[in-house]
Structure 1
Amino acid sequence: MNKKLNKHRKASIKLKRRLVFSLFFGYLALFPAPSTALTMTLENMVTDMQNPHQRLPNGVPDSYDWFRHPIIQQRTPPDGFKAITGWGQVYQNNPGKDVQQKIEIRNFQTYIIDNNFNVQKIQSTDSVTGGIYEPSYINNESTFASIIATPAGSTLAQLVGEHPFQFWPKAGRVNFPNDNPIIGIIVTVEARLLPIEKFKNVPSAPVFILSVGADYWKTTTSAWDEYHSSKGIATGRFKLLTQDWHCYTMTTMTKAPPQLAHTAFAC
């Protein structure tokens, strides 16, 4: 009897191990080795900033200046402002859809361009954090966002219905150098939606869009205070999220200088 029980226990243990390995490697299969990083030229970024959004962000008041198209608000830092951060935001385009969608984010970059056309990368990370907000960002209030790091080093976040997910580098804001005047800001990121079988070939599947932007801050630790200590720099073009990696960008340059026009910036 004991021998039979031992055989059953061993078989049960083997089955459990197989299930664990199967789940583990199935999870890893969602995050294969990183593909080659995407790039975009400054010339193409400038063109993107001149086009309307591919889709409109659901729930944003149409009085907001960034509702229909990209907007540049503050090219140069206001007096007394020493810090900066790039950010991204994900909105649902079609309201009322069941959402179980996750977004994967990697290669978040913020660059500055000085008056000598020198380019400096001041933020570069795969690790982002963020929160779930009201579509209007009323009072800047947010709730917890489910965010994890993947085995590939990227960041995975759960999207929540009709509430946008805003994200920024986990390391936080950075001070910008004061050597030369800033004439341009660039923010780039790569993102994709994780495949979900239930939405495969379904016309009514949720549609998500992403844009990136940046803010100036008085210091790296300033608290939000109704925009006294922070000023919006720009909001880039909302573009569709798909299950393929895409590059999302913003620049405050309204014309690409010949020295940089064809420079490929890593996303």
Structure 2
Amino acid sequence: MKNYLALPLPALMFLGALVSSASAETKRPAPQPICTSLSIDCVVSQNSGYDNGLYPYGVPTIFGWYAGGPAATGNGAPPSDFLALTGWGQIYPQVGASNVAANVYLKDYRVYVHLTSGGWQLVQDQAMNSVAGGHYVADFSNDSSSPMSLVVQPDGSARMASPASGHNDHFWIFPRGSYTPGTVDGVFSIAQLRTDNARANLIANFGADWWRSASAPYLNQDGVFVNNPAVGMGAWVKLTTTYQYFFFTTMTKSQLQAEPPPPLK
């Protein structure tokens, strides 16, 4: 077996985007968006900003992404001089449920950008790229983390251990995906996840960061991610022992219907 490199990614994301716990609680609850087949409706269900009643253990309730993120805003253009991005995911123990140790398997993770001229460009693909990550402190305070092994399985999936209470599994594809500046106005990613323990209470979501270039260093100045502003993140979804699809997109339902990304055609 080959181990994926566990390189630190200091770039998470939204720690400055705070809301009151009261405002998070007033979001309209939505059914759990479990997606075992491919459809635009499933994509939208995970990217519409609804509070699904699933919350990540150890994340302060005042954090804007405590209840998940509204990704599909229809406005996914990067800064005009940026030319790279990275897809990422995160897995947490569920608030109010027991945290039983398990393994988690990630497969078929792909990230696409939508071109202003029309069409989609595949910029990251687990089958051709690598996956790295770490067990980060749940609120990402001080960018503290411990190593996390990601082991390639015979089917090409990556196996990782579930996070301990107070931590997460945060993973990303590398190298960064590249595109021509000024040609991108949206993002779509797709992956499959499962756990091997039916008693594990784990939730996950996916997102992405823009990067200034394929090699720009992480730079946080007064709480501003100078070289890697966040694109967004999707809803929390509970893992099961069978693979299910996880989606992240900045595109609205009507945009996806007008020009479906390749996995949905």
Q: Same fold (TM over 0.5)?
A: yes
Corresponding position of 1:159: 162
How many residues align? The count is 218
Q: Distance in 1 between matches of 2:228 and 2:56?
A: 23
- Determine if contact 1:108/1:188 at 8 Å carries over to the other structure: yes
Q: Deviations over 1:112-138 (max 9, x none)?
A: 112233111111114422101011112
3-state secondary structure, aligned to 1:256: helix
- Determine if contact 1:61/1:136 at 8 Å carries over to the other structure: yes
Corresponding position of 1:80: 81
Q: In the alignment, which of 175, 178, 182 is matched to residue 172 of structure 1?
A: 175
Corresponding position of 2:186: 184
Unmatched 5+ stretches in structure 2: 1-35
Corresponding position of 1:209: 203
Shift of 1:96: 7.9
Q: Distance in 2 between matches of 1:234 and 1:78?
A: 14
3-state secondary structure, aligned to 2:44: helix
The AA in structure 2 aligned to 1:101 is: A
Shift of 1:98: 5.0
Corresponding position of 1:118: 119
Shift of 1:52: 2.3
- Determine if contact 2:60/2:139 at 8 Å carries over to the other structure: yes
Q: Deviations over 1:141-176 (max 9, x none)?
A: 32101221112221000113121101112x321212
- Determine if contact 2:190/2:248 at 8 Å carries over to the other structure: yes
Q: Distance in 1 between matches of 2:185 and 2:78?
A: 10
Q: In the alignment, which of 243, 246, 258 is matched to residue 244 of structure 2?
A: 246
Q: In the alignment, which of 147, 150, 153 is matched to residue 150 of structure 2?
A: 147
- Larger gyration radius, structure 1 or structure 2: 1
Q: In the alignment, which of 194, 213, 217 is matched to residue 219 of structure 1?
A: 213
Shift of 1:54: 5.1
Shift of 1:43: 4.5
The question of 1:45 aligning with 2:43 is answered yes
Instruction: Work out the percentage of aligned pairs sharing the same amino acid.
Output: 23
3-state secondary structure, aligned to 1:57: coil
Shift of 1:264: 6.2
The AA in structure 2 aligned to 1:176 is: Y
Shift of 1:95: 6.0
3-state secondary structure, aligned to 2:110: strand
Say if 1:115 and 1:65 are closer, same or farther in 2 by CA, change over 3 A: same
Q: Distance in 2 between matches of 1:120 and 1:39?
A: 22
Corresponding position of 1:34: none
Comparing 122-131 with 103-112, which one deviates more in the overlay? 122-131
Q: In the alignment, which of 133, 138, 153 is matched to residue 136 of structure 2?
A: 133
- Determine if contact 2:87/2:189 at 8 Å carries over to the other structure: yes
RMSD between aligned residues? 2.3
Instruction: List aligned pairs for 1:7-18, cutoff 5 A.
Output: none
Q: Distance in 2 between matches of 1:142 and 1:52?
A: 28
Q: Distance in 1 between matches of 2:251 and 2:62?
A: 24
Unmatched 5+ stretches in structure 1: 1-37
3-state secondary structure, aligned to 1:71: coil
3-state secondary structure, aligned to 2:106: strand
Say if 1:80 and 1:140 are closer, same or farther in 2 by CA, change over 3 A: farther
Say if 1:98 and 1:43 are closer, same or farther in 2 by CA, change over 3 A: closer
Instruction: Give the structure with the higher percent helix.
Output: 1
The AA in structure 2 aligned to 1:131 is: G
Say if 1:172 and 1:139 are closer, same or farther in 2 by CA, change over 3 A: farther
Give the TM-score, by structure 2 length. Answer: 0.74
Q: Distance in 2 between matches of 1:98 and 1:118?
A: 42
- Determine if contact 1:185/1:251 at 8 Å carries over to the other structure: yes
3-state secondary structure, aligned to 2:42: helix
The AA in structure 2 aligned to 1:164 is: N
Corresponding position of 1:70: 69
- Determine if contact 1:42/1:260 at 8 Å carries over to the other structure: no
